[in-house]
Amino acid sequence: MYLWVNGGLLFLIADPGPVVWAASLTAALDLWRHSSLQPPKPIARLLRTFLILPDDHAWHHSRDVHDVNFGSNFSLWDRLHGTYHANDQAPDQIGVPLPHSWARQLLWPWP
């Protein structure tokens, strides 16, 4: 989705510089958010006040806690809507358990 929207904007606006910068920053934050690179606790506490950190985003994919941390980059939106879940550790398990093997899901992904 990002590629289509950002690519279209690049052709529609006069100065594509800000779009390229914003798309690059969003992509970098998205890669970081899906990594296991967690900043040291004092820095994490400060960043967590306005950013979604990797541990925060992991709770969005948790098997135990549902409907939390929907914000892509900023925790403000989840705080405003009551969906923010703070925890200094990542969940034990992430993802949805599926009844089929990975090969079956790859070859025939429908239930």
**DSSP assigned state of 61:** T
Q: Report the residue count for the chain.
A: 111
Q: Where are the domains of the chain?
A: 1-33, 39-96
Say if pTM beats, i.e. exceeds, 0.95: no
Q: Report residue 1's pLDDT band, with 50, 70 and 90 as the boundaries.
A: low
- pLDDT tens, position by position, 23-80: 888 889 889 998 989 899 899 999 989 998 998 899 999 988 889 999 888 999 999 9
Question: Which of 11, 9, 12, 37 has its CA nearest to residue 23?
Answer: 9
Q: CA triplet 77, 82, 83: central angle to 5 degrees?
A: 75
